[in-house]
Amino acid sequence: MSQASPDPNDEPSFEQAVRQLTEIVQRLERGDLPLEESVALFEQGVRLSAISQRRLDRAQKRVEELLHVDESGRARTAPFDTSGDT
């Protein structure tokens, strides 16, 4: 059985996901949680990370489309320059 694609309307915004991830990391770093709760939080963090990555990927594609316009004024896509990333 295949998994249904996540509904973007059911997902937190990028900012909400990052805020929740930050809270999860802080709770996990304290090291005072029972194992099962730590695992559940880790799973939630992985899900939020995937949501955030999908949102970043979509935003990157939109930027790529907006950055390149040919002589006739039509948008042309080109790879996003990530050479400055470390």
Per-residue confidence band for 86, with pLDDT thresholds at 50, 70 and 90: very low
What confidence tens digit (pLDDT) does each residue in 33-74 have? Answer: 999 999 999 999 999 999 999 999 999 888 877 776 667 776
Domains and CATH numbers, the chain: 12-67 (1.10.287)
Beta bridge partners of 69: 75
* Predicted model pTM: 0.66
Q: Contact 10/41 with Cβ under 8 angstroms?
A: no
DSSP class per residue in 44-79? HHHHHHHHHHHHHHHHHHHHHHHH-B-TTS-B----
